[in-house]
A = this chain, B = another copy of it.
Amino acid sequence: MKPIPALPLQTSEWLNTANPLTLESLKGRVVLIEAFQMLCPGCVSHSLPQAQKARQIFSEGDLAVIGLHTVFEHHEAQGTRAALEAFLHEYRITFPVGIDVRDEGQRLPRTMQTYQMQGTPTTILIDRAGNLRKQKFGRDDDMLIGAEIMALVSESAVDLPDQVADSSSGPKSACDDNGCRIA
């Protein structure tokens, strides 16, 4: 099986960074993308703290950690830059966060559509060469994600395996302890 290049992120704005980020510009580093909504309980209690921990454990040179605000519900409450800024401030989230492009007439924002995400949180790992290596809806164990990131960090950019991690099967209903599923 061939490596699958990760599709470009489609973002309208970025917070916590002077310049907008692109996956292209992050090549050479492993990328952890945490897709979340600020009112998703499983994102707040589990996945964002996990991403913050990854930011502490791995070096900036090896791993880029970015958030992607993929709002697909409660747009009036969590759909503004001001709301997201307040949230990031209160939860002490300092890594760059992009806002997924709202697509008029569509329920899901653009990157969420392209990546066929099932809801939030969704954890994505991209290898140094820019290939999608993991996409998982719901929560993952800290030790597992630590091992998965390090496996990619340990690869050289020219030495890429070709398997692609599959998506998980997750819970069935809207928001639960694991996350907010697209119903």
The answer, yes or no, to whether A4 is at the interface (CB within 8 Å) is: no
Question: For the complex, what is the distance from the CA of A53 to the CA of B146, rounded to whole Å?
Answer: 13
The answer, yes or no, to whether A26 is at the interface (CB within 8 Å) is: no
Given contacts A74-B86, A85-B77, A86-B74, contact A147 B144 (CB under 8 A): no
Question: For the complex, what is the distance from the CA of A78 to the CA of B86, rounded to whole Å?
Answer: 9
Question: For the complex, what is the distance from the CA of A58 to the CA of B145, rounded to whole Å?
Answer: 12
Question: For the complex, what is the distance from the CA of A41 to the CA of B85, rounded to whole Å?
Answer: 14
Given contacts A143-B145, A145-B146, contact A82 B76 (CB under 8 A): yes
Report whether over half of chain A's contact residues are helix, strand or loop; otherwise say mixed: helix
Smallest Cβ distance from A148 to chain B, in angstroms?
A: 8
The answer, yes or no, to whether A80 is at the interface (CB within 8 Å) is: yes
- Residue of A76, A86, A180 most packed against chain B (CB within 10 A): A86
Q: Could you tell me if A180 and B150 are in contact, using CB atoms closer than 8 angstroms?
A: no
The answer, yes or no, to whether A45 is at the interface (CB within 8 Å) is: yes
Question: For the complex, what is the distance from the CA of A90 to the CA of B145, rounded to whole Å?
Answer: 26
Known: A74-B86, A77-B83, A147-B150. 18 other contacts (CB 8 A): A39-B90, A40-B90, A41-B90, A45-B45, A57-B144, A57-B147, A74-B82, A76-B80, A76-B83, A76-B86, A77-B80, A77-B84, A83-B83, A143-B143, A146-B146, A147-B147, A148-B150, A150-B150
A positions within 8 Å CB-CB of B: 39-41, 44-45, 50, 53-54, 57-58, 73-74, 76-78, 80, 82-87, 89-91, 141-151, 153-155, 175, 180
Cβ contacts A to B, 8 pairs, < 8 Å: A53-B143, A74-B90, A76-B80, A77-B83, A78-B83, A90-B175, A145-B146, A147-B153
